Structure formats: structure tokens, C-alpha cells
Structure 1
Amino acid sequence: MQAAANSTAPTPPAVSPRHALLEELIASAVGIAGDQMRALATGLAAALLDGSALAEGAVQARLRAGNLLREHHFAFLHLASAALERELRRAIAQLAPAPVAVTAELALVPYDEMEQQVTLAAVARPFDAAHADALAALDARLAVLLERPVLRARQNPFRPEVFVSALQQAWAGFQPDAAAAPLLLPLLRPGRFFDLAPILDALNLILERAGVTVPARADSAARSSGDAQVAHVLRRLFAPAAGHAGGTAVTRPLQAWLAGLPRAAGSARLQALKAQAPAGSLSRADETTIDLLGAVFDTVAADGDIAADIRDLIHLVQLPVLQAALADHGFFFEAEHPARRLLDLLSRMGWERAQRASADPQDPLLLAMRRSVATAAAGGAASDQACAQAVAQLEASLRADDAATEAALAGPVAAALRQERRAEAGQAARAAVAQRLAAGEAGANAVVAGFLQTRWTDVLTLAHTVEERKPGAVRDATRAMDELLWSVQPKQDADERRRLIGRLPALLAVLNRWLDVIRWQDAERLRFFAELAECHASLVRAPLDLTPARKATLALEATRLAAQRRQEPAIPEAPADAAAQAVAALARGAWLEFARAEGRRRVKLAWISPLRTLYIFSNGAREEAFSLAADELARHLRDGSAAVLAAEPLVARALGRAVRELAANDAGECAA
């Protein structure tokens, strides 16, 4: 065990606020993961020692590994924590701008390293899908922190693959037996890995508390309570007046009077209640509260985008919301205040109800809104608790509605997932082939290069697609590709030629088996194998007694070709523009408006694929409207044929308008 080699490096001193924040993120991730490490090691040891799950031929190696882990798990915990911190720092360092290379020789990525990267990505894929929302939020926040237009999922230093890699590194250092090295990764699965949910939630919370905000999202729990000017004016309005240090003694009679009002009074205008209040029961802060809440409910009444029946429903909670705001002025400053959250939810749901083609009176969400309003209205003096209970009821109904929508869209979602997996598999296959061709591994053999770029890319794509059902498919297909590339490289001594002759039958059998799977059966296949046989024959028949000068010439030519391929300019990735950023910031539940030939159409974003490459929209009635790829959706936003509908919360919008009107009135009085 190489504990010394993997010891944790001392934390570097912070050199900037951003660096300090990154250090805090690393410490939080390592700390929470460390708390889970002992249970994880125990579960892994039990899995290794479970004879029923052992592959034939690996029983003894796994039993030895399991016993070692069980008996020396503390050493493994130390190595794993150190490896995780080291991997997180490495991943963050990779986000720094790369220095521009002038004439430095390019390094080739070894095959083993490439194969390891593919394997780690495959193991991490289920965790990427399970925590897609939290990872997307973290992507957006880290992009803001690092001043990048967008941070892609593969660039997130806290992505699941980094945790998988850290465990594998710790395992390699912990096990003295090389045969035990590949035993860990197949065991990592949901329920036998880190619980990433608390880690990702903690990282998002740290960034949020540090003021790292992301574009507003319809379902975000961190809603803005207004801009700085609005907050400043509100603080001034609620500053304690002279003679009423806290206003509590004056407010109590008012609250008692409000608690005694009949339930029907909840639908009356707040200004009427203000006029009816007992003499001397209103403080200056109370009057301000009533005036501002009156502006909020006036905004509801004038908002034609909210369904009429929901506007009437919202006015029934005037009294409990007033009681809650009088008791706690945090209503005006905190987006998550229960009474404020209730108004925002009701108005949002009323707006969505107006977007639907039909308004079913038995709609479960409508019935849920009615129940929540009744709950809030029945709260009496405990209005804040009643509002919190009403909010909990609404949020539970929304979660149930989301689940029902997802179940109703199961067919389109499954098709979209298959499409995304195929696209991801094709991208990985093309990258693997391109990397080898760029390294010059095919030499000057155009036949093999063309075969890899066409037929074998199809093979690798299929292997990636079935990897979860048939582990090892990617490894086998990749190994066959590398074996083919080796077979067409020059063989300059008798031993290499004998190895080629000995390995050809197995290679040809593997190639033919994979080509049968992709059903390549035409005459082109026969022609390829004929040309391949001719190439192999020429390698075997080539003269062995090459002069040193000829060998040097061949080596120089091979180096030149490899360098030429490496230096071919790659197609640069287009920078993310505002449209691409808007697509990356979208969340389920957002509404968009599309310009169609038959007119404008509003649809709800019902589902986002785990890799955020596909988006499914619904008509708001749990029916698929259509689906779009991410680049196509960005194109619609770019050319103006689609727009994200603003979803500013009701209370923030109403308070902003009221404060602006108040400022205008003050300016007018000063001018007079």
C-alpha cells in the first residue's frame, strides 16, 4: 500500500476571494464524502466477499481483496480522501486557461489512459442522470464564478466521474495485487457509492450564500426579493418610528381585531379594512404594510394573464396574508416567506392555467389551490403557520403533477433517452477513432483509416450503446481497433512478423464478428479484407536487412506523418452565445412561446434529458407537443421565433411597481 505517495498535500493559501471560495468548495466536498467513507468501504468489502456475485476465475482475487479492505479499511479511507482532494484540485486546475504552445512537441495519450477514461465515464453515467438537476445548477453557478459563458457537464470539477476516478486511484494504491485493480469499478453503482445529493446541495448552497447567482429559473428556490433600490426603500419604510421602537404593542390590538373578523372579510379590499380598523390600532409600519399589500392584490386584480377564477381565489387569502405580514415584515424581504411563497405559487399556477386550451373545473391542481386557500384562511391568529401548511400542500400537488406528467410522457421520454444515448455513443466512437488517426497510428494505410472512420465507428457506437447491458463491449471493440492498427504498422524484425502471423486469425475473427453485428455484408466488405490481406502479406514479405540509413528514413517519415496529423487544425468549438446560455439555464416548468405558421403557441418545458441535449415540451395537459434538440432550440431563440416567457414572481413585481410609484410621488412633492 502506497500511503505515503498519496498523502494529502497541504491546502495552498487563498490568493483571491474566488480562490478562497473554491477552497471552501473542495473542503466541503471532501468533508461530506469523508463522513460517508467508512460505510462505503464496508459495503464494498461485503460485495467483494459475496461469493454469489463473483465472476468465475476471480474468486480468490476478490476474496483476498475483500478481506484486505475489511481488515485495513482505515488505510483505504485515508487514501480515498487524499485521492479525492487531489482529483478535485486537478479538475479545477484544468479549468484555468491553457498556455499557448509554440513549438512544443505534442504528447500522445496512451491507449490504457483512453480506455480508463471511457470506463470511468460509463461507471459515472447513472450518477450523472440521478443528479442531473443539482449538477446543472452547479454548472451554472461555477460558470458565473469562473466568468465563463457556460460550463459544460464534462468540465464540472465536481462531476461524479471525478469521485469515481478518486476511488479507483485509492484502490490501485491500496491493493498490492495487480489482479485486484479492475475489481472495484464494476461494484460502483447506486446504493454502493457516495451519496452525492448532500454534497452537491452543500456546494450549491455555499455558492448561493457567497452571492454567486444564476439566471432566474421558474422552479428556483432562490428567488430574488427585488433589486437593491427596492430593498433600500423597503428598509427605510419599515425603520422604527420615534416613540414606537418596535411597534409590537400597537400591532397586538390590530391583530386581535383582524383575528375576530368573519372569514368572508378576507375578500374585502385591504383599504376598506384599513378604514374600519379601531382608532389608534394602526402604527405607521402597519399602514405601510396594508398599503403595500394592497398594491400586491391590485396587481393580481389587473393581471389578465392570470385565470379569472384563480384571481378570485387569490383575493380570499388577503386577510391571512395581511396577518402574516403584520407579524413579520420579512414578507417584503424574503422570497421564501410562507405567505409570500403562497401568493407567488397561486399566481404562477393561475398564469399556467390561463395558458391551457381548456380549463377543467375538476383539474387536480385547481382543487389543490382551493384546498390551500381554505387552509390559509382557517389559520386565524396562526396565519404564518397556516400559510406554510398551504404552501406544503401546493408543493406536494405540484410534485404529484410532475410525476403524472412524466408518466404520461414515458414513451417520448424513453425515445429521447435512446436518441441521446445513441448520439453520445456516436460522439465517443468518433473521438476514439479520430484520436488514433491524429496520432498517426494508421501510418500511411488509407484503407484502414477509411475503414475505421466509417464501419468501425459504427461498431464502437454500438458497443457504447450496449455497454450497460454487456459490460466490456467497448473494451473489446477498442482493443480490436488497436490490434488492427498495430497489424498494419511496419514489422522490421522476424519476431514482430511471427507475432503478426500468430495474432491474425484471432484478429480477423473478432473483426468479422463485430461486422456481422452491424450487418455489413456487401461486396465492399470483401474488398476491404482482400486489401487488408495484401497489406499484411507485403509486411511479411518486406526485406528484413534494412540498412541503418533506411531504418532512420522510415522512422523519420513515420514521425513526420504523425506530426502532420497532430497539427491539423481542429474545428474550434463555437463560443456559447446568449441563446445557448439561455437554453443551458432552462429548467422544467418553464414556459416558452413559439411563432408558428398557424400563430403563436405557448408550451411548457416538461422534460430535459440528463445531458441537456433534448427538450420535450407539452401543451400543459400532459400531452407531448414536440421535442427539440438543444442546438435547434438555441437557434429558435437566436432568430426570434421562440422566446422564454418571463416568470417574475408576483410579489416582487408588485413591490417593485409600488416602490417606483412611491419614488415618483416623492420626486413630485420635492419639485413642488
Structure 2
Amino acid sequence: MDAHPQAFDACLKEALAQTREWVPRWLDKLHATLKEKELSARHSNDKQSLVEARTALDTHRDLMASRFIEALADAVGNALPGTDVQPRVAKTVSFDELELMGDDQVQETVELARVQQVVSMTVDHEIVELTARLCTTLGMQVVNVEANPLRADVVVGALMKTLKGLNLAPAVRSRWLQTGAIPLGNELQGLYTRLSAMLDRQGIEAAGYAVIQSPDARPGGGDSTLGRRTNAPQEEALGTETLLTLDHLHQLLVGNLEQPDDESQRHPGTLGTSNAMVRTLASEVVSLMLKQISTDERLLRPLREMLQDMKPALLQVARTDPRFFADRENPARRLLDAITEHSLAYTHEQDRGYATFSRHVRGIIDALQKPGADLADRFPGLLQNFNRSQTEAMAPEQVQARGLAVKTLVRVEQRNLLAERVAAEFRSRNDFNRAPGVVRRFLTGPWAQVVAQARLEVSNATGLNTSEVPSMRYTDILPDLLWSSQLALASLNRPRLVKIIPGVLRTLRDGLDSIDYPREQTEAFFQTLMGLHEAAYKTQRAEPLQDAQPSVQGEFDVEPWMQPAEARDTGFMDDAFPESHPETHPSFVDTQPMQRDWVQLKAELAAQPVSDLSVGTWVDMWQEGQAVRCQITWASPHGTLFLFSGANGRSLSMTRRGLDRLIEQDKLRVVADHGVVNEALDEVTRQAWLNSIKTDGI
């Protein structure tokens, strides 16, 4: 589909021009509505707050209009497709974020959510039409909501930014937002209608909406439930409780709801634990958390059912320690985290180790269900036993293999990072750029690995300075190698050429053998080099010859190189998924010049989004048409290499670029990058957020 950038730019220009008309009109409507409410208010407190809101609007009206228009222009510019600073108004707030927020931030979050909901409902039809046409102007065949920089959340975000800059009293700001939400939606409704009509007159048709593939559709025909959460609406999954609001949950987390009562006065160490409000809210959080876990289809059904049997014990803990679920070090929270974490390893009840794991979980629940006043004291011992059982479940040879893999990957990263510095040393030589491209690529590829390996071995063994070790012979041949590869120079001094060739070739062979570099990978290089030497020997000219223009090509690998033995020890993914990775060894065959400078290309690659997966993340990788559940158990210090471990004990490694490649090809999907309990608590927070929007006040 052809793009129409002129129509897109004209639409945005017209939208910003119209803000100078509808923003003052919206403020007039806000003022009139406040006046009407003031006249009809029955209670003096309501009337007084409305008077204050209207008076403040009279005072700030002109400043409000100018700043809102300015903020809208900035917000729309930042939200343009392709910009690096596109604003993202969060649809909700996470559990961890809520605990760190102040009361004003919580109130602002709720106010923002309410305004966005009202405005979005008002402009629902009009924004769909405008977005579809704007996507067409950008050459998109399928609608992308984020491509519309005029969407409602951008406008509401600009409004909130403007209000924060006016230093208003929270009560005044709340009145303006509550009263002005519907008029704002009406103004945007009209704006979107006019802009859509404008694009329609220019012949811009609406792009289509994509049909979202259901989670059951998996490449390769793997298990359809792998990595899948429930499709049921979350509001239904969590119930319709309205007691838990965002403010109440926040106050519970920071401890502001606790009040001393008769029992706490008799027992100072139990301040607030008998407070009915605290106990009720804590119990509701636990209930909602477990209900969310019960719908999480990443866990096998029998495990989800067993976890629900923990509810009585967790509710009892909540009565004595209302915020245990927010304390990651609390034994009860840690036990729940550990069980759900290990549960992600199994995708079928027939998986190896599942039966033993299931028995351990059942034993924990049975122990928690026994009556007694020592319930809280049982969790530390149960946690310790569970962790020990998981460690013992791994065979000794698997533990050794994993340790060897980690040690090997550390060495690989060290060598590759040093090889990059060695390659930079080579490039800084005055005679480097005059050499043919095939020689330059060899030096900054495998030969940099040879020098780096030699320096590491001697440094680790003796601690000597690298300038004093025998490995310097690998760099001592550089002048002869670079000189002999230049036909114009080497042909002028045949005796020197004959003298140095045997030593250069012998040193090159020895160096490559020292790192077990496959000879077949460098055979083309040696043939080319010997061809250059032969041509120089046979050429006799009085005047120096001009060497052929060196080819321009990347001179070093973009991802770490491994020795064959290292690849075997780490289960390198080139062996597991050869179709997913091109050859990682450098190519030394002379090729046509690249269309773009290598430095520019490398910068573009660095700017592309890359994987940002942390240790502990569970993923599904597709191998031979089946999904294999693995966990990232180790990442190298510089983030260039990753080690994965499966429930079957097998370890696999890959480079960062290899990981990105699998993600791009949809052969690797993240199952869980946060703990199951963390995500359940985030969903509890979202439910509290929704409850807050539904209420008139908190």
C-alpha cells in the first residue's frame, strides 16, 4: 500500500490548528458546568468546593489554555510513529510500583484512569475511523493503534502534565477532571470526525484491522497450552469485589490502615494486627491472588488445584502478618514463589521429574493443613526441605555439566572481548588499510582470537605482562604478513618474500591450531594468500604496481566465536538449531563491496531492539516442531552469552544475537519473565485500579 505522507502531515497540522479553537471552547464548557453544579449543590461543603474550583479556573484560564495547547503540540510530536520518546501512559500500575508511590501519586493515577475511561468511551467510534485512515497515509495495510499520535491517551496525558504544572490544590484538580471529562470527550469526538472527513475528501481509505490469532495456534503443532494464560476476561476471573481500591491497597502496603485497638494496647508487639479493616483487605488480596493463579494455564491443572489448597494457611498468615505477600523474604511468600517457579518447568504430567515434584508439593500442603498454632513456624522448614529436594533431583553429572558450561562461557566471553580490543590494535596500524580485504578480515577475525587466547593463557598462568610473553610472535608476523600480501610492494623485493613466507605460514598454522580453529574455515584464506605470494614472486617490473582496490566488508564477527570443544561443553545452539543461525565462523572469500559503511551498519544493528531477558526467565523454544520449556539460568557478565536449562537437565547456550534471532523468527517465546506470584499480585493491583475507577471517591 502506497503511503501518503503529505496527507498525514496535513492532518496533524490541521489538528494542532484546531486546538486553538476547541481548547478555549472546552474551558468555557468546564466553567459553565462548574457554575451549574454550584447553583444546584445542596450541601455547603460541595458548594464551597465548586466555588473554589470555578474561582481557580477564572484565575488560571488563560495560562491553562496556552499551556495545554503547547503540551498537546509536544505530546503529539513525541507520539509520532518512529520517534524514540513516544509517551506510554500506563494502563495500570504494578504491585511493586504501588508500594513505592505516595498518596498524591495514587490519587493522580486514579484520576488519570477515570478521565481516560470517560474520554475513550465517548470517542470510541470516531477514533477507530481516524486511526484506520491515518494508518493508510503511513502505508500500513493493517491498523496499528500506536500509529495515531492524536489518540485520546496522548491528549489526556498532555492535560495531566498541564495541570501538574499549575500548582493546583488536589481538590481543585479533581473537580476540574471530574467535571471536564465528558466535555473533553465531546470536543475530541468532534475533532476526530472533522479530521476523518478531511482525509476522506482526499481519497484516503481506512486500513483494515488484523484478525488476532488465538493462543492455540502454535508453530510446529506443539502443545497449545504452552506459555498460555487464560483467555477469560480478567474482571470475571478475579470476581467483582469492590472493597479493594487502589488507595486501600496502597494504605495496606505502607501500613497506614493499622490502628491500635484494645488487643494491640495489651500486646504492643501486635500493633494493628487485629484491626478488622486490615485483616479484611489482606484476606481479599490473598483470595484474589490465588484466584488469578488458578486461571494461569502456564501451570498444569493438577498443580493449580493443589495450590488452591494452600488458601486456608495463607489466609491465616494474612491475619497475623497482613503484608506477608509484599515481603519477598517472608517464608510463606518465598515458599509460594518457589513452588510456582518450579511448576513452570513442566508442560505435561508425563514430563520427567513431574511425579516426584507433585508429591513434594502435596506433602507441603498436607503439612500446612494440620491444625496447630505453630503454622507460621512451619514455613521456613518446608521451604528449606523443598529447595533441598529440587537440588537433589538433579543428577550429579548434570550439575557438573552445568558448572563446566558456565566456566566455559565465561572464558569465551573474556576471549571475545579481548579479541575485539586486539582487532582494534590491528586496525590502528599504518599498514593495515593497504592490505587486501581478505587479509584484513582474517586478522580481525580468527587471528585476533589467536592473539587473545595466547594472552589470556599466559596472563592467567604466570601473571606476566602481555608485552613480555612468547605470544608476541603472533603479532610479530604482522609486518611481514601485511607487506607480503601487497603485490605492488612484495614484487619489488623477491629475496625478502622468499625468506619470510615459510615462517609466516608456519606461525599462522600454529596459531590457528592453538585455538582448534577449523582449517576448512580458513582454507580459502590460505589459498588466496599463497596466490598473492606467487603473483608477487613471478612479477618483475621496474615501476611499482597498483594493488587492486581492497574490498570493503565487515572485518570481524558480530557475535562471539567458540572453539568446537567449547560449543560441545556448552550445548551451543548452532548445533541444536542450525537452521536458526547462519555460519558463525568468519567468511574470508573476497566479495563485492558492501553498499553501506560497516561502521554505519554496526550502529544500525546496535540501535535495533534486542532481547532484554533476565536470569530466571522461562521460555518455550521450538525444536523439530515441538516446544521445549527452558529457563535462563545464567547470563555472562557482559550479556553476550546465555545459558538455558530444561526440566530434563539439558543445558543449551546461545549468543545474544542468536537469542534475538529466534525471537524474531517466532521460534522462542517468553513464558514468564516475572514470577507467577508477582504477576498475580499485579493483576490484583489492576483489579483495585478498576474498582477505584468505578467508585465516585476513595
**TM surpasses 0.5:** no
TM-score of Structure 1 vs Structure 2, range by shorter chain: 0.3 to 0.5
- Scaled by the length of structure 1, what TM-score is found? 0.44
Greater RCO (Cα-Cα under 8 Å, separation 6 or more): 2
User: What TM-score results when the alignment is normalised by the length of structure 2?
Assistant: 0.42
